[in-house]
Amino acid sequence: MSNKNLSLLFTGQGSQFAEMGIDFISKYDWVKERYTTSSKILGYDLLEAQSDPNLLNLTQYSQPMIFVFSSIIIDLCKDYFIKNFSKIILAGHSLGEYCALYFAETLDFEEMLKVVISRAESMSIVSDPNKYAMYAILKKENLKIDEKLLGDGVYLANLNSDRQVVICGLKENLLKFKEHNQIGKFIPLNVSAPFHSDLMVESAKVFNEKIKNKIFKKIEFDLISNHKLINYKNISEKDYGKQLSLQIHSPVLWSDTIETILKEEVDAFIEIGPKKTLLNFLPRDFQGDKLSFCNVKDIENV
């Protein structure tokens, strides 16, 4: 397998669930320490927060939860990936981009968790599950959804595949749009803010200010950003913070990201995160391996 190319995909917000990480804690003593360290940095018990349905889907809690969980799988499997594949290309969906940067060792665990906390706090400025919403649309075949169709107050947040896009905005605007546009199946997402839209511009400014003194290390992997498909490998590490700030309020160009990766003749995709979501967005004609690393059993099977 050492002559093959691998793409690692890192899941974003919305994939969280109450029991994530429990199977790893039961199997590995160092994972218990990871959660203890994380709880000290966060200022609250992370596992208790996960089990609280009132906190699980709130931005300021769910983002650190997902990052900590994903970091465990990264640290368990990274040596295996590097040993068994000749080239590794990284990409993360929204929050997943931070997991990809952690894999690439641009910051150590504690420093990256602090950056994720800064992001979650900044984005929670406009976090209100009673006011904002996001919908995935499983669109009708051959239908193009763009800004011209959306109208005022409804934003195109994610272009996930030729079959799915995500919209966001004020709940009342989204409900009106849904009623007047029978363009597919609307699925509400477990998030509390209008991510990756103009409504997040102020959050991006706050985040940029919070991390302006953070010193990132230059990465050696190809890592495709959600924002304009920029490869972190091709920009200065001094610009990583700016890139992450822009990512907060710009659409996630996920389908274009996958197309970019496929041009590198990738033989396998492995998704890392609490739940398998991103593998569902791969082209139907992809013939390589598709694996999810979401729990202990997934890893042991490989």
Structure tokens at 171: 């709940």
**pLDDT, tens digit (0-9, with 9 covering 90-100), for 232-241:** 999 999 999 9
Least confident residue range of 113-122, 177-186, 240-249, 269-278:
177-186
Q: Give the CB-side neighbour count of residue 235, counting CA atoms within 13 A.
A: 18
Does pLDDT of 146 surpass 90? no
Q: Taking 60 as the threshold, does the pLDDT of residue 54 lie above it?
A: yes
What are the angstrom distances between the C-alpha of 78 and each of 60, 71, 88, 284, 299? 27, 10, 11, 27, 12
Would you state the torsion angle of the CA atoms of residues 221, 225, 228, 230, taken in this order, to the nearest 10 degrees?
A: -20
Q: For residue 3, is pLDDT > 80?
A: no
Name the pairing type of β-strands 222-224 and 268-272.
unpaired
The arithmetic mean of pLDDT across residues 165-176, rounded, is 93
Residue listed under structure tokens 């969280």: 16
Q: Which residues contact 153 (CB under 8 A, 6 or more apart)?
A: 169, 170, 173
> Is pLDDT of 219 > 60?
yes
pTM of the entire structure? 0.95
Closest CA to 274 of 36, 112, 68, 82: 68
| End-to-end CA, the chain | 13
Full set of structural domains in the chain with CATH: 5-126+197-301 (3.40.366.10), 132-188 (3.30.70.250)
Tokens representing 32 are 């218990």
Average confidence (pLDDT) over 156-181: 92
Q: Of the candidates 55, 177, 188, which has an alpha carbon nearest to the alpha carbon of residue 120?
A: 55
How high is the pLDDT of residue 2?
60
Residue identified by tokens 């590490």 is 237
pLDDT reported for residue 31: 98
pLDDT in tens, 193-214: 899 999 999 999 999 999 999 9
- To the nearest whole percent, how much of the chain has pLDDT over 90? 86
Exposed, middle or buried by CB within 10 Å (0-12, 13-18, 19+), for 205? middle
| Residue 6 predicted with pLDDT over 90 | yes
The CB-side HSE value for 143 (13 A sphere, CA atoms) comes to: 16
Chain-wide mean pLDDT for the chain? 94
Yes or no: say if 120 and 60 are a contact pair by the CB < 8 Å rule.
yes
Mean pLDDT computed over 39-49:
98
Give the dihedral sign, CA 38/66/96/158. Answer: negative
pLDDT at 242: 97
Element (H, E) at 243: helix 240-249
Three-class DSSP category at 208? helix
For residues 116-133, average pLDDT: 92
